């Protein structure tokens, strides 16, 4: 349950960084795991939370600090994984957003495409790790 709460907080925080509603909604849904890209992220967060819980086990005495250190190390990578999820989701968005003209105005679609491209260009390493950099530069 702690992992789901943390994932929800991450989704809100990362989605709020986008001005275009289309991007905001897509990023929120992807980080939450509502698309293929975010599914592994919940497991990643869950494992991290479990390792933090294990580090609080007083029966482990002198190993608690090492376990906590391992949790911190894993935790440091979560932002990178979130960025990869966002990169993949934004590339998918760019591929389909033009077909959403029945629900969104041309201006909203153009704003979303511009913001998605800007984010991807500014996060090229995440796009490369997500395996979508070729789509970004095509």
Distance CA(15)–CA(25), nearest Å, equals 7
pLDDT, residue 39, reads 62
**Six-digit token pair at 27?**
């990023």
* pTM, 2 dp: 0.85
**Six-digit token pair at 79?**
């932002």
Q: What is the DSSP string of 70-91?
A: HHHHHHHHHHHHHHHHHHHHHH
The residue assigned the tokens 């890209």 is 37
- pLDDT-derived band at 1 (thresholds 50, 70, 90) equals low
DSSP state, 16?
A: T
**Six-digit token pair at 66?**
């090492």
**Six-digit token pair at 6?**
């943390």
The residue assigned the tokens 């994932």 is 7
Q: What are 95-105's pLDDT values in tens digits? A: 999 999 999 99
- Three-class DSSP category at 109: helix
Kindly state the percentage of the chain with pLDDT values over 70.
Answer: 95
* Listed range (19-28, 56-65, 85-94) with the worst mean pLDDT: 56-65
Distance CA(50)–CA(5), nearest Å, equals 13
Q: What are 25-62's pLDDT values in tens digits? A: 999 999 988 766 556 788 888 888 888 888 888 877 78
Question: When comparing pLDDT for 55 and 16, which is higher?
Answer: 16
Chain mean pLDDT for the chain: 89
């Amino acid at each position: 349950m702690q992992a789901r709460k943390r994932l929800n907080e991450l989704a809100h925080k990362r989605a709020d960084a986008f001005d275009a509603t289309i991007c905001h909604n897509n990023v929120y849904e992807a980080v939450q795991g509502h698309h293929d890209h975010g599914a592994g992220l919940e497991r990643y967060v869950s494992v991290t939370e479990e390792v933090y819980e294990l580090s609080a086990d007083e029966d482990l005495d002198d190993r608690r600090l090492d376990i906590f250190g391992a949790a911190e190390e894993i935790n440091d990578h979560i932002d990178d994984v979130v960025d990869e999820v966002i990169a993949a989701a934004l590339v998918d968005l760019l591929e389909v957003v033009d077909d959403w003209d029945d629900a969104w105005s041309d201006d909203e679609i153009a704003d979303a495409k511009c913001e998605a491209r800007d984010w991807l260009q500014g996060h090229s390493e995440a796009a490369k790790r997500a395996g979508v950099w070729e789509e970004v530069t095509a």
